[in-house]
Structures are given as structure tokens and as C-alpha cells.
Structure 1
Amino acid sequence: MLRKLKDLVQTTVVDESQEKENTRVINLDERERKQTYHEAGFRDSTRNFGDKTALHICLQAIYAKFQNEEKENELKQDKYNEPYYLEKAEKETEIKTKSVVIDNFNEKIEKRKTAIENLKNEIADLPNNPEKYGIDAKKGASVKFWIGIILLIPITLYLITFYVSTAYSAFFKKFEIGDGLIQSILDANAFSKAWQDGPLEGMFVTFIPFVFMGLGFLIHMFSEVKNTTNIVKVVSLFIVTFVFDAILAYQIENNLYDLTKSIDSPEFTLAIAFQKVAFWGIIFAGFIVYIIWGLVFDFVMREHKEKDKIKMAVNERTGKIKIEKENLDTLENKLHELKENMETIKGRIQELNRLINGIIIPVKEYHLYASEYMQGWITSINQNLHGSLNKKQELIFECNEAYNVHIDEVGSNNDFQHRIFLSQS
């Protein structure tokens, strides 16, 4: 550990010493360059007799020379580009970080898509293999349910017809001699006749079938939970239904008996009714069919319950698909934003590469060297040209104007320090 610290201190000292040496060399080079430009100005002015036109051409030449010197001075170019190198490194690090994030988003998106596909497959397979997904439901529950519905509808219509007719015949119909058993039970106009007799008769006949259906519904509800109390209730309801049918049969048979009895005939009693085939025919035409209706109704309700289990499972998966799609949309939007941001960063890196590969000309610095050149030019005019002082001053004034025009052209009078010539690649 101590050795590592010594190496770190030694490395730091070496770096600082190198930086000081580089600064010393740069400062020495700047002094030499200024002297060189001053001498060049003096020499060019002497050769051209201080001519302002020649000055303009010479200034362009020294600017080109300055550009070439700056281009080949890698140390200074690297120093100028240091902020660009740092920014490029930051952007490249950001690109790597965002690439990892994008990979994670792509992985999450694929997982969401796979989850959605799996849920869709489960929804398609659930009705056929509910136990595969831990659902306690029978296969083909929907088919059995619809078969039960198809059977239940005509049986229900039969019971409504039967109980409307028997209720009307038992309590309100006026029998006539010659009416047989079928005519006594099944009256095609029982419903309309009951309402013609009065609203009470009409409502009684209309709603009595629903009493039996209500009893059937109660039987189904009690039979769902198997316990002694419910068994007693179910048996009691069957007895009540049977007794009700027996009452209807007894009343109809009594009405028929009254039409045919003589003076010597005994009063109609339950014992006599039990001996009548028609009595039992009415009971079984209603009660047996009612039992069949109850069994079919119970079967339909049980199948509906099975169907509901599958439906609930399907709805649950449908809800999950909706959530997964919402999450997928959110992920894809974020991924799109990340990719757009990455493209922006890549564009900035390309721009930084062009800046780094380009040439940076310190136009403010050039102003110093150009002024040294101009001083050498004016010194030559004052020392070497013959003529009056006014003529020399006039020539110096004209040369200063040419110099100012040149400085404006290269941008040394502007606020910016550097002028950048971008690389085309």
C-alpha cells in the first residue's frame, strides 16, 4: 500500500514537472516568434519600400504562415482541444451507459411480449384444459351449459302452460258435461279466460308457475351446501311441491266427479281420489316434469358455475394482458426517447470529432504577432526610407489602414478567441 502511494506521488510530480517544462517551452517559443515576426516585417518593408499594397499581400502571407505553424503545433492544438476531448469522453461514457440501459429495456420489452403471448395462449387453451392452470372446472363446460339451456327452455314453457291451465281448471273453470281429462287440464284459452274473470284470477294464474320455479331455485340453492339442515329443507320443498300438485289434481278430479255423480254417489274424498288414475296422471304430468326441470336447472347452474370459473380465469388473464400492454407501451416510449437521445449524443460526438480533427487558429494571439510584424514594417519605413517626415507619416498612415483592414478580415478584432476550421470527415 505504501509503495502504491509512493508511485502515485512520484507520478504526480513527474506530470507537474512535465507541464511546467511545456509551459516554459511555449513561453520561449512565443518570444522567439514575436522576434521573428518583427524581423520579417522589417525585412519585407525594406524590400518593398514600405508600400501599402505590398503590405496587404505580406500580411496575408504571414497569416497563412501563422495558420500553418498553429496546425503543426500539436502541443497547442491538443491544449485547445482539451475541452472537446473531455466532452467527447463524457459523451462516449454516456453512450456506453445508455447502451446498457437500452439493452435492459429491450430485454424487458421481449419479456413483456412473451408474457402477452403466453397469456393469449392460456386464454385459448383454458376451456379445454382448465386443470392445467390450476382451475377446478370441468372440460367443455360451455357446451354442456348450452345443451342444458336448450333443454331447459321447452321444459320451462311446458311447466308454464301446464300450471296456468291446471290452476285455472282447479280454481276458476266451470266444467261442463262431456269434458274429458285432457280438456279439463289443458285449456288453450285458460290465460285469457282468467283475466276476463278478473284481475285477481288473472294474476293468480299468471304468477303461479313462478312459484314452482322459485321452489326449484330454492332446491338448487340448498343443495349446493351439503348438510343435514339443507337436506331437510330440500326434502320439505319436494313434499310441498308434491302436495301442491296433489291439491290441483284433487280439485280438478273433484270438479269432474261432481259432473257425473248421482244422488246415491258418496261425497268425493281423498280416498276416492287416490283410486283415480287421472288423479295420479295430473300429479305426475306436473310433479315429474317439475323434478326433471329442477334437475336440468341444477345442472345448468352448476355448468354455469364451471363456466364462470373459466370465464373469471379468462377475464383475469385479459386484465393482465391489458396491464402488460400498458407497461409495454411505456417501455417502448422510454426506449424511443433513449434512442433519440443517443442519436443526439452520437451527433454531438461526430461534431466533436470534426472539431478535434479540425484546426484551431487563435486569432487573438495572431493579433500580437501581426502587430509585431507591423512594428517591424514601420521601423523600416522610419529608418530606411528617404524623404520628408510628412511623406513618411502619410505612408505609415496608409499602411496602418491596410493593417486594420487585414485584422478585420481575419477576425482578430472580434470577441471570440479562436477561429476553427472544421474537418470535412
Structure 2
Amino acid sequence: MDTTSIKNLFKLKSVPIEPEQETFPKNEDNLNNESLEENRKRTYHESGYRDSSRTSGNHSTLSICLDAVYSKFQNEEKEMVEKQKNLKESYVNEQKNRETEIKALTVSQETKEEQVKSKNTEVENHQHAIESLKAEILDLPRNPEKYNVKAARGASAKFWIGTIILIPITLYLATFYISTSYSAFFKNFDAKSTVIQSVLDAQAFSKAWNEGVIEGAFVTLIPFVFLGLGYLIHMFWENKTRANYIKLGLLFIVTFIFDSILAYEIESKLYELNKIFDSPPFDLKIAFTKIQFWGIIFAGFIVYIIWGLVFDFVMKEHREKDKIKNEQEIRQRKVEFFQEKINVLKKDIEEILANIGNTKELIIKTRGRIEELQNIIDGVIIPTKDYKLYASEYVQGWITFIGEKIAVSRTEKQTMIDDCIATYNTNLETVGANSDNQNLVYLSSL
């Protein structure tokens, strides 16, 4: 590249601008701005030319001079109040939006905190309800009337006492009816048998099964007949109606007759075993005069009545006990219901607290951004695109001097120019005005 080409490339033209013929006149403010910009370019171009002349176009000195140019440009931009205001307008608007966002986030945070407070209050109320219900569950058996439960106090204790009494009576009746039924219908008496041995045979169960399945099944199942009759007594007695009273009376009569048959059969066998030649035939009249006859009847019938009364008592106490148990179960279900609500509330509280944490974090970040924006607003915004324009004018002036005034070979001159251009590009990179980011704004306060 020759000196003339370099000059033509970098020299700032100062040819006066002639007005053009236009349909509409140019805006006077635009003309003034264009005139100021041209003057400013010329100033930077001339400064570059002058500084280059002082340093003989040294590229190392150019780096220092460009730093000074940047400082000068920064001070000039700072003095342009209206331009700075326009450049900062977007940051001011963003700051206002961020402040509005913080207000919204703060309201949201306060709302969530109120929700947490409300839900914590619900949790406490449910916990108090659970504690109260658990206390009622424990106190119900002792004081059912306190909770309007129509059940006898101590029903549970009475139930177990009655059950303990009922078990041995049941075993007694089973033993008695197995033995008496075997003796009455299947046993062969001998002269050596005593009255007790004739009525209560310790081996009646095994003997009956040894004699046959029918005999064994009969003596095994006959106690359940009397237990079933006792159960019916309880059922009829539970519903006190005239018909049930009649049925109850018939049950007692049937049981008494059956016990009388057993007693009659046993007493008949004993009479036949011990009668003499002139003894009359055994009949009811003779049976009624025998103590053993009445002993067998009352040993079974009276105990059977006692068993029925105890069984009725146990069932009534069980019903009373069930009333209390049902009330306890109702309260236990309420406890489980409240516990489920507490679990749901605690889960909701955890989610809300997590949201509050995120909101607080977002508020902190937004406030940080507001501070950054305030620093930008308080500082000086350097439009890098403009700086590149004026810096290029300065370097053009610098290189123009090299091309016009430095008396060296063409090769050396080209090397000097290349070094100056490299220094210029390095400066653009340093201040953030490189060609890849023409529209970025360099913030001097950051």
C-alpha cells in the first residue's frame, strides 16, 4: 500500500456539505447533532495526527494514547446529560419493574406466611382434639354417663367375672349330662354299683364310644341341647314380650321333663337291681318318693337354670361392653381422621415453606439486581459503538501522520501501520468494544 492510498483511506474529509434538494426540509436538531458529530470526529482525527507526530507514530505509545482517548471519551460522555439519560432510560424502567416485582413478591411472601400460621393453628387444634379423644377413650369404661353413653359402669369387669363363672358351670353341665345320659340309656348296672357310680360314671364318654358311634355321638352332643336351650332362654328373656314369656316357660318345662326322664330311667334301673320278690312295679309314684330321683333332677335342672341366668348376665354385660367399645372405636376413627388431616396440613406447610424460601431467594436476587441497576444509573454508560467510531478516527489520524510524514521504506511503514492497527484492536478488546459486540454497553461503574 503506498502513501497516497493510506492517506485516502484514513484521512478525514473536511469538504463542506452542500444542501441537497429535498421534498421535506431536514430537522434543525438533526442538523445540529450531525454537525457536532462531524466536529467531534474531526477533533479525534486531529488529536491522533498530532499525538502521532509527537511520538513518531510509535505503536507502543499509541496504546497509552488510546487509554487516554478512552478516558477523554468517558468524560465527554459523562457531560452529555441528555444522552446519558436516554442511555439509562431502559435501566431506570427495569429498576422500576424490579421494585414492583419486589412488592408483589413481598405480598406473596406475607400471604404464604399467613397461610403457614393458619395451618399451624389448625394442626394445633387437631392435636388438642386428638389428645382429648384419647383421654375419652381411656375414661369411657369408668365414666360412660359422662359422655352420654347408656352403659353400665364397670361392664368390662363384670363381663370377665361372669365369663370365669360360666366356664366351669358349662364344664359341669357337659360332664353331668354325658354321664347321666349314658347311665340312663346305655349303662348296665350291677349290684356292686353305688348310687353315685350309677349316676356319674367317670368313663361314660369312652364307654359310649366303645359301644358304638350312635352311643358316642348321643352322649357327646346331648350337652349342646341343654346349652342351646339355655341360649334360647337368654334370647327370649332379652325381648320381654308376652309371647316370649310363654316360650320361656315352655323351655323350663321341657328341660324339667327331660331331666325327670333321665332321673326316672336311672332310678328305675337301680330299683330293678335292688327289688325283692314282693316289691311293686316301679312307677312315678315310687319315683317321687326317692331322694336320688329328685337329686338327679335338681343336680341338672337347677344348675341349668343357673347357667342360663349367668349366660344372660354375661351377654348383657357384653352388650354394655360393646356400647363402650363402639364409642371408643368411634373416637379412635376420629383420632385417625384428625391425624390424616394433620399429615396433609404438615405436607402443605412444607410446600409453602419451600415456596417462601424460593420467594425470599428471588427477593434477594431482585434487590441485588436493583443495586446493580442503581450503580449503572449512578455511573457513566459508555456506548462502545460510539467509542469505536471515535477511536478509529483517532487511529486514522495517527496512521495518516505515519503515511505522510515518516520517512522510512514502504515495508517498514506498512509494518508500523500493521502494529498500530493491532494495538487499536487490542484496545477495543480491552474496553469491550470489539467487532462481535458492537451493540453492547460498557458500564464504567461495574
The alignment's TM-score, normalised by the length of structure 2, stands at 0.77
Please name the residue that 2:310 is paired with: 296
How much does 1:364 deviate? 9.4
Please name the residue that 1:387 is paired with: 405
Counterparts of 1:96-115 in structure 2, within 5 Å, are: 96-115=110-129
The answer on 1:257 being equivalent to 2:271 is: yes
Instruction: Quote the Cα distance in structure 2 between the aligned partners of 1:279 and 1:327.
Output: 71
Please name the residue that 1:207 is paired with: 221
User: How many matched pairs?
Assistant: 394
The alignment's TM-score, normalised by the length of structure 1, stands at 0.81
Instruction: Quote the Cα distance in structure 2 between the aligned partners of 1:31 and 1:114.
Output: 81
Counterparts of 1:95-244 in structure 2, within 5 Å, are: 95-244=109-258
- Change in 2 beyond 3 A, CA 1:171/1:127: same
- Change in 2 beyond 3 A, CA 1:192/1:221: same
How much does 1:408 deviate? 3.6
Greater CA drift, 108-117 or 355-364 = 355-364
Please name the residue that 1:371 is paired with: 388
How much does 1:83 deviate? 3.2
Q: Contact 1:126–1:314 (CA<8 Å) still a contact in 2?
A: yes
Please name the residue that 2:17 is paired with: none
Please name the residue that 2:356 is paired with: 342
Secondary structure, counterpart of 1:216 in structure 2: helix
How much does 1:148 deviate? 0.8
Q: 2:51 aligns with which of 39, 44, 48?
A: 48
How much does 1:407 deviate? 3.8
**Structure 2 residues without counterparts, runs of 5 or longer:** 1-29
Secondary structure, counterpart of 2:170 in structure 1: helix
Please name the residue that 2:24 is paired with: none
- Change in 2 beyond 3 A, CA 1:103/1:44: farther
Greater CA drift, 410-419 or 365-374 = 410-419
How much does 1:421 deviate? 9.9
Q: Which amino acid aligns with 1:132?
A: K
How much does 1:213 deviate? 0.3
Q: Contact 1:152–1:296 (CA<8 Å) still a contact in 2?
A: yes
How much does 1:102 deviate? 1.5
Greater CA drift, 90-99 or 289-298 = 90-99
Instruction: Quote the Cα distance in structure 2 between the aligned partners of 1:181 and 1:124.
Output: 55
Work out the percentage of aligned pairs sharing the same amino acid.
43
- Change in 2 beyond 3 A, CA 1:63/1:296: farther
- Change in 2 beyond 3 A, CA 1:332/1:289: same
Instruction: Quote the Cα distance in structure 2 between the aligned partners of 1:154 and 1:207.
Output: 18
Counterparts of 1:407-422 in structure 2, within 5 Å, are: 407-412=428-433, 413-414=436-437, 417=440
How much does 1:113 deviate? 1.5
Q: Contact 1:131–1:137 (CA<8 Å) still a contact in 2?
A: yes
Q: Contact 2:383–2:442 (CA<8 Å) still a contact in 1?
A: no
RMSD over aligned Cα atoms: 3.6
- Change in 2 beyond 3 A, CA 1:235/1:34: farther
Please name the residue that 1:15 is paired with: none
Instruction: Quote the Cα distance in structure 1 between the aligned partners of 2:36 and 2:107.
Output: 40
How much does 1:190 deviate? 0.5
Q: Contact 2:380–2:443 (CA<8 Å) still a contact in 1?
A: no
Q: What are the superposed Cα offsets for residues 240-264 of structure 1, whole Å, 9 maximum, x if unpaired?
A: 1111111111111111111111232
